[in-house]
Amino acid sequence: MIDTDAPPLHLPETYAHGVPYEYYRWLRDNDPVACLPHPRYQGEKLWVVTRHEDVQRVSRDAMTFHNAPDPFMDDGQNDPASGGSELLMISLDAPDHIKLRKLINKGFTPRRVSALGDMLRQRTNDIIDGLADRDSADLVHDLALWLPLHVIADMVGVPEADRAMVFDWTEKTFGFDPTTTAEERGQAAADMFAYADAMCAERASDTVPRDDLMSVLLNAEVEGEKLTAFQIELFFMLLQNAGSETTRNLITTGTLALLQHPDQFELVRNDLTLVPAAIEELLRFSTPVIHFTRTAAVDTELGGHHIAAGERVLMVYASANRDERAFTDPDRVDVRRDPNDHVAFGAGGPHFCLGASLARIEGRVMFEEILTRFEGLRVVGDPASFDRVHSNLIDGYNHVPIEWDAIAPAR
């Protein structure tokens, strides 16, 4: 039975004033595997899974639920597949996904990620030092945006002079500005492909390989196979989008959540050993990626409902992370929460977020410096009125005004 009164979860406008947590709670209690209308999916239905246990089951059962043709929820206006998303690594299933992930993992080894520590600290302090003669800023554009943007660019090998241009392409391909047309999104994607192709051509002519991710990917082999230039171009686009946007929104929404829970802010500020646990809690509480879809590969059953092969299943991470069955007092920030089996990086299975360790180390460094260097940090205005990104996928803000009393020197 289709709930005709349901808010249209596929429309970005539904999230303009925040994630609909109250509706998710109602679904968890009354219809945890709900059949909701969608203008494009087969039979105009979409199975919406909101409980933690069910989201984990769908995510981990890769034989029954596939990522192909893509894991994005169509917004009813722009078909994700029209932008080539069906060719991204995130849209593939075994065995192609496993082989591609093995190749790309060579650029995300623990050694490469852990070696970023000093660079991350310097980048973060440079960003904050740039605000030293001010007493107010935009949390998004003056603080949260720059660290993940520079980290991904440093790893990939994008020159500093090109980074604003690459960031602009990233914003357009995501369609965060509702005035961006489908043609402009397509052109931005094409520009990113051409740029990545030029980077590959430069590195192919190098006599000594560069120590950057594009060079690693260009030269990596698994079972005697190498990535094609087109696969590298697709990964470049995915990495710029996922690597910069999600971490930026973790920093933004996480900082805002701490400022709205001053007792938790002070707990972490006075004991920085709590930062790793606090990051896990902020990922749970302010889930940057709201949801992803899977497509049933075979007829199956979930929550007492028959799901036919070919039908879409929406895994609502933001709901699973607030499920009272999995978390005590889930609508409260608790930086000491343990255990914390959140699903912010996915709910397990072969598509668990490739950049999770990178996001965690970026978040740790940035939160440590925000907590210790800004004195009297506060939000200006009512967060309920702040402009959010235009998206049915990412929970984040376009602008968050902040101010402070002083900035302490770097430690």
Q: Is residue 7 part of a domain?
A: no
Q: Is residue 5 part of a domain?
A: no
Query: Domain limits at 344?
Result: 12-407
The CATH number of residue 35's host domain is 1.10.630.10
Helix (H, G, I), strand (E, B) or coil at 198: helix
Token pair 């020197």: residue: 409
Per-residue pLDDT of the chain (411 residues; tens, 9 = 90+): 445 567 899 999 999 999 999 999 999 999 999 998 787 776 667 899 999 999 999 999 999 999 999 999 987 665 444 445 556 788 889 988 888 888 777 777 777 777 788 889 999 999 999 999 999 999 999 999 999 988 888 888 899 999 989 988 988 887 777 888 888 988 998 999 999 999 989 988 888 888 888 888 888 777 788 878 888 888 888 788 777 788 999 999 999 999 999 999 999 999 999 999 999 999 999 999 999 999 999 999 999 999 999 999 999 999 999 999 999 999 999 999 999 999 999 998 898 888 888 899 999 999 999 999 999 999 999 999 999 998 999 999 999 999 999 999 998
Q: Is residue 190 part of a domain?
A: yes
3-state secondary structure labels for all residues of 30-93? HCCEEEEECCCCHHHEEEEECCHHHHHHHHHCCCCEECCCCCCCCCCCCCHHHHCHHHCHHHCC
> What is the C-alpha separation between 11 and 110, in angstroms, rounded?
38
**Which pTM value belongs to this model?**
0.92
Residue from 236, 364, 285 nearest 18 by CA: 285
Q: Is residue 3 part of a domain?
A: no
Q: Is residue 203 part of a domain?
A: yes
Q: Is residue 4 part of a domain?
A: no
Domain count for the chain: 1
